[in-house]
Structure 1
Amino acid sequence: MLDDLALFVSIVESGSLNAAAGRAGMPPATLTRRLQRLEQQLGCRLLHRSARRLVPSSEGWQYYERCRPLLDSLRQATEALDSAINHVAGTVRVLAPVTLATGVLQPAWAGFMTAHPQINLELQLSNQREDLIGSGADLAVRVGPLPDSQLNQRLLGRAPTVLVASPAYLQQHGWPQHPHELAQHALLLAEPLMEWRLQHRSSGEWLNLPPPATARLRVNEIQLAVDMACAGLGILYCPLSQAYRALADGRLQRALPDWRGDARDIYAVWPQQRHLPARVRALLDYLIDFTAGHPLFAGEEL
């Protein structure tokens, strides 16, 4: 009925059936049948038609005057929605872990905003896994398994983990020779990496070490735990992305060189829907390109 209404408005504004049919790209006979169907649905005559003239009835004028503003509003709303969906502009809301967002991904946010000056970026950072749908966010970056099947996902990369300590700590307390000896050391726990998963480089043997009953430090911010390890307070299991600078400049060393940590999957996730708005798709594509060329997302230790 909405299409027929739009045709009726076009007939009135065109002044003739032939002109309106030309604007609509349909035969005049088809337009006439559509008009008759609309009149039957409404139960009144909308137009007085003769060989020379086409004049709206009183009911037709009332209907036209009330419906034309509604059609104009609908057209404007459709154009605005099309602009929001198909143009790289507007606000993109993102959920992400604090450490990852402020660390290795920091250049990605700046680069994306520079490349798309009409984008406003809202980053909600938390080390807790927030409800993506309930928060109203467009996209989330998540690390580890994804039990929520109601979300679309794209693997961005794999982040290796490392077991590290400062040279001063290792000189004072000795180097552990096997993961089972870690229980004799001061351990620093950084949530959410409470279980330490290690693989022997030569044999391929895997060991899962449960969280110790006591730890020298337990903190839910990984960068602080890295700083504490650099200060010589204990041995830490953490993402390589947080420790690689300290490893490169010698503030940290690998505590068990014959063992390596597990690699954790990093995903971009978003609510299930047929089409992503262009502004969200632009950010997703930027993150995919950024992580594809970054060694810290390759899943291998440097």
Structure 2
Amino acid sequence: MNSIYGNIDDLYLFFCVVEEGSLQKASAKLHLPISTMSRRLSLLEQRLGFRLLEKRGRELVATESGDITFSSLQSVMEHLEYAFDDIQTQTQLVSGTIRLALPNNFYRTFVAEVVEQFIETYPLVNIELMLSQDLSSPASDRDLAMTFDLSGMEGMVARPLFSSLHQFYTSQAYLDRYGPIETVKQLADADWILTDRHSDITVYQGEHVVEVIKVKPKLVINDINAVTRAVEKGMGVASLPVRKLAKHLELLPIMEQFHRGTRQSYLVYRARKYQPKALSLFIDALISAARTIEDETPIIDGETSNSSS
């Protein structure tokens, strides 16, 4: 179909560059040379008589006119993508690339098994994993993130995965050096090992908030296994998930009448009317696997804990 816009491929090139944020990423996605894409986009801008894209730092972003064009095209392009996804579904083909960002411990807990099974079931699907505590908001319609923290995720779909009860732990070596920890003040004054820089800890008794303490991190490591090892070596105290610590009998729970509350984890992705088939199936597989973890939620005071930190 030729018109002032050229052909529909040129419009899709523009749409893809805006979604991916750079010619290089769009080139990799579409398997086209950067020089070819640049030339075709320049010709499209000449035909339209206005700029669609501009450099902003290292990123390639839409101009004001480009934003208007993108918004006008978005629904049409998504319907086209959905139509092709539907064709693939009808021919029993599930394919595409899915990107998932998640903490290391999520991967070891249950995601690794889901990924391995999914790739075996759907060999045309590629999955790219980024194991990190420092998560950013999903950038494209094939991006997923797992997180306890929804800040900065406004406008995204957040599906609950599992809740994790956290209590306070240390080692006998630390208590021998530091002394007993029997009050909330002593807990606050101890040497803390944290997974992030958030130094405000909410202390619960049952389902009631006792106090919010400001702790002094001795060490910050964005991996819960590394935090556990540091506690085992007598470096301080930490808030750790009860379920994970069942096998670490050398760690000592402290002030067992108190806990940090139950942290809720989420699977986050962009809201979209028509999800790619591979993504929808992968989301279902992750949520189904997470339910097996949720079923193991510990009991406090005779009731399942539903408090939040």
1:210 maps to: 214
Please identify the structure whose Cα radius of gyration is greater: 1
**Residue of structure 1 aligned with 2:132, choices 113, 119, 126:** 126
Letter in 2 for 1:90: G
CA distance in 1, matches of 2:120, 2:241: 28
2:255 maps to: 256
User: Deviation of residue 216 (structure 1)?
Assistant: 2.6
1:179 maps to: 184
Residue by residue over 1:160-181, the C-alpha shift from the partner in whole angstroms, topping out at 9 and shown as x without a partner, is 2221112332344343112211
**Residue of structure 2 aligned with 1:152, choices 136, 154, 157:** 157
Is residue 82–residue 274 contact of structure 2 (8 Å, CA) maintained in 1? no
Query: Quick one: structure 1 residues 286 and 114, their matched pair in 2 at CA, closer, same or farther if it must change by over 3 Å?
Result: same
1:94 maps to: 100
Query: Quick one: structure 1 residues 296 and 218, their matched pair in 2 at CA, closer, same or farther if it must change by over 3 Å?
Result: farther
User: Deviation of residue 237 (structure 1)?
Assistant: 1.6
Residue by residue over 1:210-255, the C-alpha shift from the partner in whole angstroms, topping out at 9 and shown as x without a partner, is 232xx33222333211110011111112334553432xxx121212
Is residue 159–residue 239 contact of structure 1 (8 Å, CA) maintained in 2? yes
CA distance in 1, matches of 2:245, 2:295: 11
Query: Quick one: structure 1 residues 172 and 84, their matched pair in 2 at CA, closer, same or farther if it must change by over 3 Å?
Result: farther
CA distance in 2, matches of 1:114, 1:196: 42
Residue by residue over 1:14-38, the C-alpha shift from the partner in whole angstroms, topping out at 9 and shown as x without a partner, is xxxxxxxxxxxxxxxxxxxxxxxxx
CA distance in 2, matches of 1:147, 1:157: 20
Letter in 2 for 1:117: P
CA distance in 1, matches of 2:85, 2:294: 39
1:62 maps to: none
Query: Quick one: structure 1 residues 141 and 184, their matched pair in 2 at CA, closer, same or farther if it must change by over 3 Å?
Result: closer
Q: How does 1:138-287 map to 2 (within 5 A)?
A: 138-201=143-206, 204-212=208-216, 215-240=217-242, 242-246=244-248, 250-287=249-286
CA distance in 1, matches of 2:232, 2:83: 56
CA distance in 1, matches of 2:82, 2:286: 30
Q: TM-score, length-normalised on structure 2?
A: 0.61
1:60 maps to: none
| Identity level (%) | 19
CA distance in 1, matches of 2:187, 2:225: 21
Is residue 193–residue 237 contact of structure 1 (8 Å, CA) maintained in 2? no
Query: Quick one: structure 1 residues 78 and 187, their matched pair in 2 at CA, closer, same or farther if it must change by over 3 Å?
Result: closer
Q: Secondary structure at the residue paired with 2:208?
A: coil
User: Deviation of residue 282 (structure 1)?
Assistant: 0.9
Letter in 1 for 2:255: L
Unaligned runs of 5+ in 1: 3-76
CA distance in 1, matches of 2:120, 2:265: 24
User: Deviation of residue 102 (structure 1)?
Assistant: 3.5
Q: Secondary structure at the residue paired with 1:177?
A: coil
Query: Quick one: structure 1 residues 163 and 286, their matched pair in 2 at CA, closer, same or farther if it must change by over 3 Å?
Result: same
CA distance in 2, matches of 1:284, 1:78: 17
Query: Quick one: structure 1 residues 141 and 175, their matched pair in 2 at CA, closer, same or farther if it must change by over 3 Å?
Result: same
Query: Quick one: structure 1 residues 279 and 225, their matched pair in 2 at CA, closer, same or farther if it must change by over 3 Å?
Result: same
